[in-house]
Amino acid sequence: MIKQRLQLVLACFLLAIMLISGCRDDLREIRAYMLLDFGRFFPPEREQRLIEKAGFLYALGYREESAGPYQVRIIPDQLYDLEHNLLLDIYLPAGVGSPRPVVFLIHGGGWQYFTKVAVSGMGRLLASHGFAAVGVNYRLSSRAIWPAQLDDLEAAISWLAAHRKLFGLDLDRFAVLGDSAGAHLAAMLALTGHSAATVKAVVAYYGVYDLRPLASEQLDEAAINPINQLLGVPPGDLDTACRLASPVHYVTEHSPPFLLIHGTADTLVPVTQSETMAARLKEKGAEVETAYVDHADHLLLSVRGLNTATLIKIDQLTIDFLKRKLQAGALPGESEIPNAETVKRR
């Protein structure tokens, strides 16, 4: 009975977010606020239930229709940073010889909310296709300001490098994947090049790549703006701080291949963020693929009702990209994954 009530509450909450998008501009602002503070409605102690019951509704959730042929072994709560009590989860495919290509998963939440649980669905999905996936916690902005988050992720990769033989990890075939704030962190991790593994591919969902347009110079707004809270600087210092923390300013011809995914109706992170990042990658001669999902808001929530079929195709697009860039190929028992048809690829 409790589970049924929880499912109903989650369904109503997500449905409300979806329905508001089709209304007037002032109500769209309410929708954006609900998305921005989504983590406040579902704190860590409720996050696991949220993902279990409603994770299939959002981009990084687990969908049985997208799963590969392998059973998944989960090794939870590995302590990689004793000082800050930071944990990571490892998802391994059963029956796949090691070492396995690795996908490092970074959760979103405005740098303020959520944990590695938010990427557990994607971890299971990727492991079912033969990848080793790693979901990681990092210090949120309420605990530490930038660049502590990047430092934590680099520490996690160093821990993986030290334990690669134990878990059968091939860090020569290493990719990063993140959504929203996690996409920002994934891009920074790939482009700044200070980690113990060279990033060979980046999958970034509805990410923030140029912080300055989304930061606030007004003191009252800065107090609640997640970018201002992340950087922890006064409004007068925003230009320099945003530039130093924006992936778009670190792109070079040697940047790894990117797959950028974004909803065209995103009310929280404008699709222009991905368009600008894609343009910069192309300008510098780096490799980039894009998928713009029509009528999709943040988290790829559809503004026209449930969009499970489109999310399945995005799953396929992501898996195909990672296989190509990590040279994973078609693992035994797998068939090749078709390209998505209902998203715009460029």
pLDDT digits (tens, 9 = 90+) for 306-325: 789 999 999 999 999 999 99
Query: Given this model, what pLDDT does residue 341 score?
Result: 32
**Number of C-beta neighbours around residue 176 at 10 A:** 29
Tokens 């970034």: give the residue. 204
- The model carries a pTM of 0.87
pLDDT digits (tens, 9 = 90+) for 173-184: 999 999 999 999
Query: Given this model, what pLDDT does residue 334 score?
Result: 40
Handedness of CA 294, 300, 302, 306 (dihedral sign): positive
Structural contact between residues 51 and 118, judged by C-beta atoms closer than 8 angstroms: yes
- Cα dist from 251 to 107, 189, 272, 345, whole Å: 22, 12, 17, 21
Query: Given this model, what pLDDT does residue 7 score?
Result: 43
Closest by Cα among 185, 155, 147, 166 to 83: 155
Q: Where are the alpha helices (DSSP H) in the chain?
A: 2-20, 25-36, 38-41, 44-54, 120-128, 148-162, 164-167, 181-192, 219-222, 226-231, 238-244, 272-283, 308-325
Structural contact between residues 181 and 146, judged by C-beta atoms closer than 8 angstroms: no
Q: How many CA atoms, within 13 angstroms, populate the side-chain half-sphere of residue 110? A: 23
Q: Which residues pair with 205 in a beta bridge?
A: 179, 261
pLDDT digits (tens, 9 = 90+) for 17-28: 554 444 444 445
Structural contact between residues 326 and 175, judged by C-beta atoms closer than 8 angstroms: yes
Query: Given this model, what pLDDT does residue 336 score?
Result: 36
Residue 37 has pLDDT above 80, yes or no: no
pLDDT digits (tens, 9 = 90+) for 233-289: 998 899 999 999 999 999 999 999 999 999 999 999 999 999 999 999 999 999 999
Please give the mean pLDDT across all residues of the chain.
87
Top CATH class of 59-210+246-345 equals alpha beta
